[in-house]
Chains A and B, each alone.
Chain A
């Protein structure tokens, strides 16, 4: 009798090797360098691509299975949330503005990350790195989709979320996250990895996701918590990949060290500037607070990041150049950013407000050295003005930093009463910066940043009006024309939270839910 022989299944390690390393090839009728032109020109030397270890050894078949299960759970929660009118369970309608910031400024970055990883995944000659990048590319695309799906429920009930893709390419403050990723995607593939996998994912992503998701949990938004968890399990894989790729680069050749150091200096600072939006969200936009930006910075950046840079010292890597200034900024940036959006809330599709007395006391407690001295007086002034019917809106366009594209709102290190101005001349033109580090980034690659699409300058160049707009007609209001080009709903998406449609609707839904039915 014949015994059936079953083929032994491959072990995890062999299967991983077969499904990643086995996917490469050597070109025959075209030179390798012509087919893969990108992985050499930055000067990074790779001697042995097989030293690249994907820490999760994830293969595509395992990936589909694992992610499919996660998606099922995620969509079950989103569905239940929608059916139970979960939007009514959040702490306060002010909280929804954190979600507006997320769908406007963070979700499109997931899409950019997807594009960036798809690009580098095509370009590396090493198969391990190529597969890892492709897998992350799919993750990022999924994040873009699940975040959009989860937040689309809120979009049915609240303003400021209906046009986020259109806004991403136009609205002034969204040029900050947009330029970050465009800068990364137009760097070489190794610079992209250092920027996104290492600096952003590994060093800074906790500062992005933890405040948003714990903020959501504290404020009763279980839908966001769920997509946060779903994304966060990928983020931990991305983080591990981030540290792996930086160690790989540093171990391959000592000549890589100074190149990588330059990128770390640049991308830590660019990422830190981008997170200004998150700092503001955390200290001002969550009606139920989780932890202050300062506390989050101390825990995730100073402790974790500090330990990391000590760890990397054995490769010859030092602390990033802007580190000390970034640490000093923990006492200031959330207040300075909120003031900016309070100033320019006519042109921003989310609401701002003056924190109430309890919230100001919380800020005083969390920022004992700075809040009462520098920031409380103007908030109290704003409140008095608003109560007198003269809510302050700044109507003149601000000066922007040529590198990070943020209005020049940051103060001098060591002196919170003085705006920090820096400038460079290049080929007969002046360029201005918010800090030594943004200036350094420009000075290193001026050819790149003289192309910055600075929203204020573009408005003055006449590029931000709808086709057919005639700026010479009598009574032309440039601000209104720009908002029309943004396709913002003026009077609904913008202006103070007090008196907004969001505020009124939410009060009606929660306070008098039966009124309509009784009638």
Chain B
């Protein structure tokens, strides 16, 4: 298949198909023009493509219920394409012309790699096209899928994955997580908020879809579970093993009042003022330090609840200790105290459960390990938000003090579900700091959500990679992606429009099916 250069118009190269080309090259495809006379090569990306009828036949004949001449039904493909990569040797500061009547052909994988400018290491995705409400994978002349390599650095510049339910965002996130675990030898911490989305990644994916199998073969990959895989779940919540979650990889956890960061407890507080929220950790810190010195580290959260209740009865004046260790006193309003007591009582069963493990950063920052914190279920979000905040502090601290060199990826799936309480919002607030400093500490965050407005304000500015599966086009446009409403509406499952960090030429892509944790119905 070949196309002939007509010339340039409004900064785009215009081409028309040759006779041997019997279809429309979809938008997003790549074309290569080679000039044998100069040895120059130009790689173009199709920006607009349409059908044209060179003989402009009259509709009269068909209107009279007569069949038309087949010869009149010949069509051509007219293309407008951007020059995305020029390869030439000239050194005079000028840019080569692309002469009219030059011949263009579909680019090879190597040429697309050149055009995209990505490296060779990173998760591979399929370059896709979008035309007339149809998504297709880009292929070269031999029919092989064209792939693109997402840069590894993308992880540490934060990623937003958006899409409606069933559009493919969780599957894509799983794919990225497995890559991070296996190929980057990193540690992944994922928060599972819904069903068993992330709870079966120890099992190889299963599909009978030949297209998926072909995609895996193209990548030289096969379905496999994540080997070092642990699901942590609150001791007060039973994990749903009826959905074939492997019991052996599940670990009951609890919060340890002796070690928990006082700031993490603000995750418990709902319906109280910001000032009270600021005072509460200092009240807890004072009590925690006192217990540590008096009881050799053996005390329970129940004892703190009792301590606070007694304080309320004795005038609501509490000794405090700030993070620098300065002591003081604070008097809380009665209504605030009542609220705090209610919240503490609600959280009692998060702490000090026998037979449950207290986890910290050493459980998470393990190379090649994927850790899932399951917060689906009653009270799960509150528990998760306290735990996550505590863990985030510890992980950042461990990285700051160079106790760990393991790359870290944090995945917040269904942000909109996790974000619906004050407590979890607090936890996400801590992610802001991580997002801004993640690159240097090698900590990455993937936010997965149905709507980008679910992301805490301010975070959107530090997210450098945006991947939109089928969702609201206006949201995507507000984040700088060039996509029309129709194009967004026509994205099939697994296909996405994207703005990838350091890979600006990749616009439409398809993620392979994750090798683990996806089970298609037979």
A binds B: no
Q: Which residues of B contact A (CB under 8 A)?
A: none
